[in-house]
């Protein structure tokens, strides 16, 4: 146990320290860019902090933003367990949103405790099927899943665009969106009028469940084996194609849940372009989580806070909100390169000997070279 704790804080792949340092470095670099662009980074960071945690409303916003990010981050991390890069989370989320909207729009005379779960299930199912298609292409034809899922993203977005502009367009609406889903299919809000819904708990529970699933079930074990050494898994009688297919379906189901939670909770209808790239932000979440299923929860909250905060930034200052996107992208790159982070720290150390603590951490772990 002690050893495991220790390894978590070592500066290497999968360590908490690496994630935290990467985040800090990314924030510092974006601050420098801000300063170069003529904005005061401290004003910006203050506005972000206020927007993320400054009030009850701010905290609600943070968790509202965190909800889909936890889902999409989880979808990405889980697929990675089987060494599958599911870049199609965005498209699967859109399809999930469609599934949830279709069920949610149906007036079946059902009570809420049946209609709502059905609508969520619709979202999960659509997401799973859509990801399953990419899985089918990979397993049956050996298609590169990265390119395939990106193509499927474009197709899904265009398809939803077509539906919300045509067959499903709300009567009299100028924007591409459907009618409101029925009252019985809505996710209740925790702190009305804030948009935060109980979906946040589903998101967190989903992470805990998937952690249990990968560690304790036999199929979870097979998924890990396939992810870490496909040939050995195959030799051991594991049907690798089936495992990859199932993994993608589950990943898509999680992404579909994200879409359902947006449609049934936040937007209360399917709106074209409802996602400002939650699916891709999920990649950043997964990176910050160091591909750890439980790590997705804090990572999702961090990025949720950044997103909520940057909205405040855009509202109250003239500083562009895109800085949070820059931070996200840099976290993806930095967490993936422990060697680079180490070297950045070394440069820091040479530049100023004040930051002794950081240096101590890094020197303990860096190899003599």
Partner 1 sequence: MTPINAVEMRGMVKDYPLVRAVDNVDFTVEQGEIHSLLGENGAGKSTLMNILYGMTRPDSGEIYLAGQPVQIRRPADSIALGVGMVHQHFMLTPVMTVTENVIIGNEPTRGIFTDYKKANAEVQELIDKYGFHISAKATVESLSVGQQQRVEILKALYRKANVLILDEPTAVLTPQEVKELFVVMRELKAAGKSIILITHKLRETIEVADRVSVLRGGKMVTSGVFAKDCDASQLALMMVGRRVDLYSTRRSQVVGETALEVSNLNLSRRGVPILKNLSLHVKKGEIFGIAGIEGNGQTELIEVLTGLTKPDSVTLKKDGEPLTGKPADFLSNGVGHIPEDRLTRGLVVPMSIEDNVILGYHKRPAFSRRGLRRTKAIRTYAADKVKEFDVRTPNAKNLCSSLSGGNQQKVVIARVFSQNPDVLIAAQPTRGVDVSAQEFIYSKLLDLRDMGKAIILISADLDEVRRLSDRVSVIYDGQIVAESKADVWDEMEIGLYMTGSKQAGEETSE
Partner 2 sequence: MEVVIQNIIPILATAIYMSTPLIIAAIGGAFSVRSGVMALGLESMMMMGAFGAVVGAYFTGSVVLGFLVGTLGGMLFGFFHAVLSVTYKVNQVISGIGLNLLALAATTLSMQLVWGNRGMSPLVNSLTTNIGGFITQIPVIGPILAGQSINFFVMVLVVIVSWTVLFRTRYGLRLRMVGENPKAANSIGLRVHALKYSGVLICGALAGYGGAWLSLDQLNVFVRDMTAGRGFIAVAINILGRYNPSWIVPCALLFGFADVMQIYLQNAGIPSQLIQMLPFVVTLFVLAFGVRHIRAPAGVGLHEDS
Binding site residues, partner 2, CB under 8 A: 37, 85, 87, 137, 140-144, 146-148, 150-155, 158-159, 161-162, 165-166, 280, 283-284, 287, 320, 322-323, 325-326, 328-330, 332-333, 336-337, 339-340
Q: Please pick, from the candidates 24, 236, 333, 339, the single residue that binds partner 1 as defined by CB under 8 A.
A: 236
- Residue number, 179 or 234, with CB nearest to partner 1: 234
* Residue in 228, 222, 279, 233 with CA at minimum distance from that of residue 96: 279
Q: Please pick, from the candidates 112, 146, 150, 219, the single residue that binds partner 1 as defined by CB under 8 A.
A: 219
Q: Which does 320 bind (CB under 5 to 8 A by kind): partner 1, partner 2, none?
A: partner 2
The span of 59-67, 221-229, 316-324, 331-339 binding partner 1 (CB under 8 A) equals 221-229
Q: Is the peptide bond before 233 cis (omega within 30 degrees of 0)?
A: no
**For residue 232, what are its two tokens?**
């050995």
Residue 265: CB minimum distance to partner 2, A = 26
Q: Which does 329 bind (CB under 5 to 8 A by kind): partner 2, partner 1, none?
A: partner 2
| CA gap 296, 20 in Å, rounded | 13
Q: Which does 108 bind (CB under 5 to 8 A by kind): partner 1, partner 2, none?
A: none
Residue 230: CB minimum distance to partner 1, A = 9
- Residue number, 56 or 367, with CB nearest to partner 1: 367
239 contributes a contact to partner 1 by CB under 8 A? yes
Are the C-beta atoms of residues 328 and 23 closer than 8 Å to each other? no
Q: Give the HSE-up count for residue 366: Cα atoms under 13 Å, Cβ half-sphere.
A: 17
Q: Tell me whether residue 313 is exposed, middle or buried, using C-beta atoms within 10 angstroms of its C-beta: 0 to 12, 13 to 18, 19 or more.
A: buried
Q: Tell me whether residue 56 is exposed, middle or buried, using C-beta atoms within 10 angstroms of its C-beta: 0 to 12, 13 to 18, 19 or more.
A: exposed
217 contributes a contact to partner 1 by CB under 8 A? yes
Residue 1: CB minimum distance to partner 1, A = 10
Count of positions on this chain that bind partner 1 (CB under 8 A): 21
224 contributes a contact to partner 1 by CB under 8 A? yes
**For residue 291, what are its two tokens?**
């591909």
| CA gap 209, 5 in Å, rounded | 22
User: What residues have CB less than 8 Å from 321, skipping those under 6 apart?
Assistant: 310, 311, 313, 314
């Amino acid at each position: 146990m002690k050893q495991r704790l220790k390894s978590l804080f070592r500066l290497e792949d999968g360590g908490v320290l690496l994630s935290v340092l990467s985040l800090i470095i990314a924030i510092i670099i974006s601050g420098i860019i801000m300063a170069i662009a003529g904005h005061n980074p401290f004003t910006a960071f203050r506005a972000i902090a206020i927007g993320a945690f400054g009030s009850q409303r701010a905290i609600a916003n943070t968790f509202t933003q965190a909800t889909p990010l936890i889902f999409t981050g989880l979808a990405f991390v889980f697929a990675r367990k089987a060494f599958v890069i599911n870049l199609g989370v965005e498209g699967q989320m859109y399809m999930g949103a469609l599934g949830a909207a279709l069920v949610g729009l149906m007036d079946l005379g059902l009570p809420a405790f049946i209609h709502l779960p059905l609508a969520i299930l619709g979202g999960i199912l659509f997401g799973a099927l859509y990801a399953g298609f990419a899985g089918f292409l990979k397993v049956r034809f050996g298609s590169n899943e990265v390119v395939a899922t990106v193509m499927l993203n474009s197709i899904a977005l265009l398809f939803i665009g077509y539906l919300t502009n045509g067959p499903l367009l709300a009567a009299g609406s100028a924007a591409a969106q459907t009618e409101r889903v029925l009252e019985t299919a809505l996710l209740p809000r925790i702190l009305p009028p804030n948009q935060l819904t109980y979906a946040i708990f589903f998101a967190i529970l989903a992470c805990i469940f998937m952690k249990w699933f990968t560690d304790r079930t036999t199929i979870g074990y097979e998924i890990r084996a396939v992810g870490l050494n496909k040939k050995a898994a195959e030799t051991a009688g594991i049907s690798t194609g089936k495992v990859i297919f199932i993994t993608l379906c589950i990943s898509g189901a999680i992404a579909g849940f994200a879409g359902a939670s947006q449609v049934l909770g936040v937007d209360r209808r399917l709106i074209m372009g409802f996602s400002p790239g939650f699916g891709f932000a999920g990649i950043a979440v997964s990176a910050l989580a160091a591909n750890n299923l439980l790590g997705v929860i804090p990572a999702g909250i961090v990025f949720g806070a950044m997103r909520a905060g940057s909205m405040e930034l855009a509202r109250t200052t003239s500083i562009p909100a895109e800085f949070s996107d820059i931070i996200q992208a840099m976290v993806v790159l930095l967490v993936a390169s422990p060697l680079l982070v180490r070297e950045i720290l070394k440069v820091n150390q040479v530049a100023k000997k004040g930051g002794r603590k950081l240096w101590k951490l890094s020197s303990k772990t860096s190899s003599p070279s």
